[in-house]
Amino acid sequence: MKDKKRPLSVAIDGPSGAGKSTIARMLARELGFLYVDTGALYRTIGYAVLQGGGDPADQAAVEALLPTLSIRLAQQEDGQHVFLGGEDVNGKIRTPEVSMAASRVSAFPAVRAFLLDIQRDTAKSISIIMDGRDIGTVVLPDADLKVFLTASAEVRARRRFDELAEKGTAVTYDEVLKDMTQRDYDDSHRDIAPLREAEGAVRVDSSDLTLEQSAAVIRRLVESLQPPADQT
Ligand code: DC
């Protein structure tokens, strides 16, 4: 049983569209934890490369860009915001182009090293739920709870398509499924920190669950880490 006063860390990893960010945000609100969306950091680097007219697959060019970037996470009333220099990029990093660029740059070791400290520093003093691809394997290998949240590619593509359609983005379901399958492959086959289940992770398949049901499963796991109030 854990010391009640020590900050708890929950790592949620899994492929895109499994519901990680929605579920993690929901749980963080319910439990009073900080939610950290690490994908937004990779997206911000992808966005910066595209803004500069660069090619996200050009490793040397991406590496050369890193020292010029200042990336900061800020917690505001409506949740996490990422700043690139002085610019709040939250509203700009969810496009299909930035998704693909993020996946490309995330394969470069220098990019992962650049973002590691930002992620670890955030987890030092406060209970957090952090989601990504390598949180349980690399960023927080000692997390109190590690969850691998997954769902079938078709279900994940449908969810992402509905999200994009709601925002008015002009894409077809087939394009979203193709992009997702490509990103799954790239994310799990890269040499460094590939997407895989961490040792000791609990696997949750959300294909046949609503977001609320998946959140409830993970919530029970978090609550089992904390001693009941009458035993402290
Ligand atoms: O979770 P997301 O779709 O916002 O992530 C965007 C890209 O960033 C994704 O293709 C993989 C990469 N990523 C990563 O490599 N490691 C993380 N911890 C989070 C995201």
pLDDT score for 182: 92
Considering only CA atoms, which of 10, 68, 75 is closest in space to residue 218? 10
Virtual torsion, Cα 92, 40, 169, 19, nearest 10 deg: -160
Helix 211-223 vs helix 20-31: crossing angle, to nearest 10: 50
Place of tokens 């959300």: 206
What backbone torsions phi and psi does residue 216 show, to the nearest 5 degrees? -65, -35
* One-letter amino acid for residue 108 of the chain: F
User: Collapsing DSSP states into helix, strand and coil, what is residue 71?
Assistant: strand
H or E element that contains 7: none
Q: Ligand 1 centroid to 42 CA: how many Å? A: 6
pLDDT score for 4: 54
Phi-psi region of 32 (alpha: psi -120 to 50; beta: other; left: phi over 0): left
Tokens of residue 160, six digits: 């992402």
Q: Ligand 1 centroid to 221 CA: how many Å? A: 24
Minimum CA distance residue for ligand 1 atom 14: 133
Regions of the chain with pLDDT less than 50 = 1-2, 231-232
pLDDT score for 1: 47
Ranges assigned E (strand) in 104-144: 128-132
Pocket test for ligand 1, best of 103, 104, 122 (most atoms within 8 A of CB): 103
The CA-atom distances, in angstroms, between 23 and each of 37, 84, 160, 193 are 11, 26, 14, 23
pLDDT score for 205: 96
Q: Ligand 1 centroid to 3 CA: how many Å? A: 31
Pocket lined around ligand 1, Cβ cut-off 6 Å: 16, 38-39, 42-43, 102-103, 106, 132-135, 183, 187
CA–CA gap between residue 231 and residue 226 (Å, rounded): 10
CA–CA gap between residue 212 and residue 83 (Å, rounded): 30
In the sheet where 145-150 sits, what is the strand order?
A: 34-37, 128-132, 9-13, 145-150, 202-205
Percent of the chain clearing pLDDT 90 (strictly above): 77
How many H-runs (helices) and E-runs (strands) does the chain carry?
Answer: 8, 8
The CA-atom distances, in angstroms, between 55 and each of 47, 58, 86 are 11, 5, 23
pLDDT score for 232: 45
Q: Ligand 1 centroid to 30 CA: how many Å? A: 24
Minimum-distance ligand 1 atom for the alpha carbon of 135 = 18
